[in-house]
Amino acid sequence: MSKLKQAKTLVREILEKYEWCKDDDRRLTSNIWALQLSEANNGAGYNWANNKDFMQLYATGRLMSATTIKRARAKLQEMYPHLRGKKYAIRQSKYAKTWEEDLGYAKGKFITDEIGREIRLPYKD
């Protein structure tokens, strides 16, 4: 199984199980790492006091990177609305407007395509 598929499977499992992880990548990452550390210790739990073991596991790629976890979470929340947290809609509406303005779409003109849909054209000076 590819790393991204593995990440998506694990991230989805955590998002469905723990509501508080839907809006917090640090908590999500911590929960995933806790599971992986437990597996690395043959299911005997984990001991956070041993930072050297954690660093070795992370450095050798036996723990997923925080970036991979974040990307998997973002893709899953885009595809499956029930995995979205309370902050998802706020983030989307806040940034969408900014991106449209930065790209020049806010001042754009509309044209009508062949089936009657309005298409916004980017603003050009």
Are residues 60 and 100 both part of a single domain? no
The pTM is what? 0.59
Does 19 lie in the same domain as 3? yes
- For position 16, what pLDDT does the model report? 94
Q: Measured in Å, how far apart are the chain's first and last C-alpha atoms?
A: 50
Separation CA 56–CA 52 (nearest Å): 6
More confident site: 9 or 3:
9
92 and 63 together in one domain:
no
Judgement on whether residues 91 and 68 belong to the same structural domain of the protein = no
pLDDT tens figures, 25-50: 988 998 888 888 888 777 666 666 57
In a shared domain, residues 54 and 44: yes
Phi, psi of 108 (to 5 degrees): -70, 165
Do 3 and 45 lie in one domain? The reply is yes
What pLDDT score does 37 carry?
Answer: 82
Split at pLDDT 50, 70, 90, the class of 78 is: confident
Q: Are residues 11 and 45 in the same domain?
A: yes
Residues 79 and 94 in one domain: no
Statement: residue 123 has pLDDT above 60? no
DSSP 10-70: HHHHHHHH-GGGTT-HHHHHHHHHHHHHHHHTTTS---TT-HHHHHHHHHTT-S--HHHHH
How many domains, in total, are found in the chain? 2
User: Which has the minimum average pLDDT: 59-63, 66-70, 113-117?
Assistant: 113-117
Same domain membership, residue 47 and residue 78:
yes
Structure tokens at 41: 């210790």
Q: How many CA atoms lie within 13 A of 64 on its CB side?
A: 30
Domain residues for the domain of 14 are 1-85
Q: Is the pLDDT of residue 110 over 80?
A: no
pLDDT over 90 at 4, yes or no: no
Asked if 33 and 54 sit in the same domain, the reply is yes
Place 10 in a pLDDT band, splitting at 50, 70 and 90. very high
CA separation for the pair 11, 49 (Å, rounded): 25
119 and 109 co-located in one domain: yes
Q: Are residues 61 and 31 in the same domain?
A: yes
**What integer pLDDT is reported at residue 125 of this predicted model?**
47
Residues 123, 105: contact at Cβ < 8 Å?
Answer: yes
Average model confidence (pLDDT) for the chain?
79
